[in-house]
Structure 1
């Protein structure tokens, strides 16, 4: 019997699951057994692929401790497969070795549920139970001469492992083993690798090998006949009930939703029609429990004071809005409920719920406890080998030096794919050719197990009915299946995601309450939308720190659209996506938005569908609408088209069929061919990275929440962003934003700083967390001691109470954290060295009975330079804790300020900028250009365009630059088209004056 491994025997097998089954069919196999090493990742894909090839699938696992093969488990039925999953999960979650061959506890509690196959020599036949067998390799037949065959004739079966396709893939297997063992290829041992015979040996050869022992072949066929596995693909296997019965669920959901409806809409009869329709569809399609489970999670989060954003297509639902799962009003934006849930939809809907990264783990833990760890798990995923990682891993295996690996990594040629990476021909030596040859074979192999960014599965039956669970470093049980397998077998995920934007909001509200004694209701979205001050912030693009709308590209887009309202911000959140920009639709939208009435629709009927977005498709719903209402596809195919154009969708094979239907439908309506081709181009090019409108609307809600806090409580907001470790930019920029609000930013201080940055009035102290090299345990000790016995009186008091080490004291002195003593850094370093040597032999006493007066010192004149603090800031904080332009060795007043660019349109100007970020992009010709973002001395933005020659000669990096170029304008946004850029120096440390 063929005991097969796919590449889900990670870093061992070389078959994809589909290739494995196809190869089995070509070898004439009528039955295949999947026995990956300690893994059942692709079990259900294997079953499905076997069904397509008319092959009987049997599921099992090869159990190993490191390189040692213990036994092979084979499921006789679904209960047996469940038991295999339970067994693997127990040992993988607890990270303990699997039990040896002579373990007294049976793996299969009912012998009829499965078989255990031992390698020849691992267990004697007299010790076998009724469901245990000894597997004999074709090359081991001669060893049967010394076995008690007559006494135990039914205990022997054929064992033919299948690991690779041929000699080439055997070599790839060896490379994978070296990667897995983190060793050179030449240092692999025989135990590390498979036998050269582990391929689909022709059945004639197998039968010939055992011709003297026909009972072994008979036993093998009997075992195969005794096994079967069944799976109803696509049948909903999620938790079916929230309460005691489906009817109770229906009544409860309706009660909760109607309460929410009164709160959101009062007695609006027109809206109630849609509300009742949604309730009916939710009940008819069996999603009542799914809504209630999500509501229950939100209720728990609210009870704990956690903030959330409900987004994705779930925000199309009026019922979800009434349950406070989302804060997006689907009536206001005319959101399409059928995009979320409809009888024709071919895929299940799901909710995407964002929590702060600080709160998400508690939510997951609640879900695990609420619905049981046998029924609740995180969803898995598989990172894959891609170009750079392949080159580096194989380079190490062959023993190449790092410099040579780096050089080889750039030899892949660009062939126009989305990542621009491939494996090209090379005229270099034999090892380089081997790396590129085998690297191409290795591309897209799964490299191990990982965790889906947010998916949670909650099943009706125990999860072991479908998959094995393991325990990654995250600490929560995680399924050995990915989202595609889960969906295929009917387990539909609930996405519980995390982001830092909600952390900003939560902390800012707490700071406002502490500093101003004001309670903020952050869910007053309607109020925020009408706020004139927020409208002005938006128009000006003053959005730094605000979720999703702070990047340079987004700020410029907002200004180009003169955005000051919710609906335009929703559109901006979608057209900023790469797909819309790549298709040319973003520029079209901006032009049409600013020039209404000065453009024509591609077809009159498209005006009815795309009128709200000026004839431009910017939302996923519009793909469905155009396909259904314009091209005549039915709703199921229209929704399938939306999915088939997405990179996340597994079934891209549907696209040619859908394209044919699309063009056929348009032909029936008599549309011009060029119009049809252009509409299809837009669909195909933009949908891969598009948002559904509800998703964009959800993002815009959170953007408004951040904007409200930034507008009315700018200092607290900037501190909250800093303490949640920023957003799009580095933390440095957010400190400058804090300075712009009028706050006085102070360097760390042992008497005033906390672990995170704090603010009292207008005084903000940089937190200890930002000091490089300062140990967290010691920072905590500083704070605990200060809390217990008050502020530190002097250096000796600090040393005595904290028992600081010389290295940690040196860091604190150099950051200025002991400046309260009134002494300069050099004096403190000298004094600290003396005091620590004096007390070195004495155990530190944090709370001495009698406090000694401080020792006075007479020190030599130690020179102090004003630039010392800035140099120490850059070294120990990573940025200057003050105006960065203090460092530049130039006079900023000599240069044009950013706010004056509009008055010099078309002219060549020179500005002095401090580099913040830049974005490289590839041109149509394959060259690299970039868009730069700088600050001027007023901390205003300078946006620049660097065409390939300029970018190649001077790619922007950290520091100050003198930038010369022509001022250009696009819809009211000014940039500099750079013609010359040069680095400006910084002042020397020993400069006498600043």
Structure 2
């Protein structure tokens, strides 16, 4: 029977100084190898989620979103989003890691996963003194957990012959994520101790009653991209190509491999390959579609329609900005002149398009955000083509008078375009 394999551990250039191939090159190669599903697991971020999803859809591949998180002790843990709720949980955990460790060295406290009392020593001297707010548990709903690469806590404990601690750790992760949502990763990359560690990990999985899953910790699409990956790791470790370093690759095995190659590597444990497809089939789309997902703006008492409330605010702002415009588009007595009519016509034109395209709530939220920021003493203003909107000017989102400068609204918003304020 022809084997089927889904790659559930892959890095792109968004794993900074660690991804040797572009996103499209990775997805295109997966298509060539007839890989039905790919999981993107960049280090501590989901920055490429939208682009990755679009590319996978274009190439007919199921996208799975995830991340390889760096824990407070320096070990790695792979998390996959089973659905939209899982993606939200993953984003919350990533935010927690950055709030704890900082922009350059994000570290997720184990307690954020509801795991307390860890006694695992930090293999890289990682920080283990997270402040109380960083230690509060984040609900891990909708997440699948894989035990990670060679820098995962379980492989590290096995390599250091700490079997009792490895057993306790595996049982804890199983209990936190659930028996069906936690798998122990096996990676045959021909590095020192690889074969021994994999067999110990497989025995550990059997002992605690969880599945094993084969991944290849992909960092580039084809062997020809290995030199680029090697150079990136030299930059990251500040070493020359000849200088050894534990965080530099030893060979070109971390490429996308076919189902047959993976089946041959794991002939001693075929369920590890079979489980890749089972996991992929359990995952739903983690990102919303192209439909509008703008939430409804909470209208104040006495207002029931977002478009009407937006009109009210815009004309209040127009009176403050121009002075020659009355309430709701009227022209004050003794002030009727061409400028007033021109301003009102422009506002009405913009409001009609904004309302027809369903962006009234969006403008109200932008107005609320900018108003709040300014009350806090934070400088805030619109950007880019938002300066072409008279509505944005009247709401004080921008400070460019589109009437005086004769700026076209269509450059900012028109059917088929999305506003970006």
Distance in 1 between residues matched to 2:399 and 2:55, nearest whole Å: 43
Counterpart for residue 364 of structure 2: 292
Distance in 2 between residues matched to 1:60 and 1:307, nearest whole Å: 34
- Equivalent of residue 156 in structure 1, options 199, 202, 212: 212
8 Å contact 1:135–1:159 — kept in the other structure?
yes
8 Å contact 1:154–1:215 — kept in the other structure?
no
SS at match of 1:192: coil
2:315 equivalent to 1:258: yes
Higher RCO (C-alpha 8 Å, min separation 6): 2
Q: CA deviation at 1:53?
A: 1.2
Change (3 A) 1:154 1:295: closer
Change (3 A) 1:295 1:182: same
Distance in 2 between residues matched to 1:257 and 1:111, nearest whole Å: 42
Q: CA deviation at 1:72?
A: 1.3
SS at match of 2:217: strand
Counterpart for residue 339 of structure 1: 411
> Higher strand proportion, which one?
1
Counterpart for residue 90 of structure 2: 84
Q: CA deviation at 1:8?
A: 1.0
2:132 equivalent to 1:132: no
Change (3 A) 1:347 1:233: farther
8 Å contact 1:58–1:227 — kept in the other structure?
yes
Q: CA deviation at 1:316?
A: 3.7
Change (3 A) 1:334 1:23: same
Task: Report 1:423-434 matches (<5 A).
Answer: none
Q: CA deviation at 1:261?
A: 3.9
Task: Report 1:657-696 matches (<5 A).
Answer: none
8 Å contact 1:108–1:114 — kept in the other structure?
no
Distance in 1 between residues matched to 2:285 and 2:95, nearest whole Å: 20
Counterpart for residue 280 of structure 1: 352
Q: CA deviation at 1:297?
A: 5.9
Counterpart for residue 147 of structure 2: 117
Distance in 2 between residues matched to 1:304 and 1:128, nearest whole Å: 42
Distance in 2 between residues matched to 1:280 and 1:83, nearest whole Å: 38
The CA deviation string for residues 722-752 of structure 1, in whole angstroms up to 9 with x for no partner, is xxxxxxxxxxxxxxxxxxxxxxxxxxxxxxx
Counterpart for residue 577 of structure 1: none
Query: Is the radius of gyration larger for structure 1 or structure 2?
Result: 1
Counterpart for residue 27 of structure 1: 33
8 Å contact 2:17–2:233 — kept in the other structure?
yes
Counterpart for residue 115 of structure 2: 105
- Equivalent of residue 58 in structure 2, options 42, 52, 60: 52
Deviates most, 193-202 or 9-18: 193-202
Counterpart for residue 349 of structure 1: 419
Change (3 A) 1:347 1:110: same
Counterpart for residue 257 of structure 2: 201
Distance in 1 between residues matched to 2:113 and 2:288, nearest whole Å: 35
The CA deviation string for residues 863-913 of structure 1, in whole angstroms up to 9 with x for no partner, is xxxxxxxxxxxxxxxxxxxxxxxxxxxxxxxxxxxxxxxxxxxxxxxxxxx
Distance in 2 between residues matched to 1:27 and 1:136, nearest whole Å: 21
Task: Report 1:244-393 matches (<5 A).
Answer: 244=300, 247-262=304-319, 264=322, 265-266=324-325, 267=331, 268=336, 270-271=341-342, 272-296=344-368, 312-326=384-398, 328-342=400-414, 344=415, 346-350=416-420
Counterpart for residue 4 of structure 1: 10
2:283 equivalent to 1:211: no
TM-score (norm 1): 0.32
8 Å contact 1:31–1:58 — kept in the other structure?
yes
8 Å contact 2:78–2:146 — kept in the other structure?
yes
Q: CA deviation at 1:48?
A: 1.4
Q: CA deviation at 1:163?
A: 0.9
Task: Report 1:503-652 matches (<5 A).
Answer: none
Distance in 2 between residues matched to 1:161 and 1:289, nearest whole Å: 43
Q: CA deviation at 1:42?
A: 0.6
Q: CA deviation at 1:231?
A: 2.8
Change (3 A) 1:302 1:77: closer
Distance in 1 between residues matched to 2:399 and 2:139, nearest whole Å: 51
Q: CA deviation at 1:157?
A: 1.6
2:219 equivalent to 1:169: no
- Equivalent of residue 245 in structure 2, options 177, 189, 193: 189
TM-score (norm 2): 0.70
Distance in 2 between residues matched to 1:181 and 1:201, nearest whole Å: 27
Distance in 1 between residues matched to 2:205 and 2:78, nearest whole Å: 21
Q: How many residues are matched?
A: 349
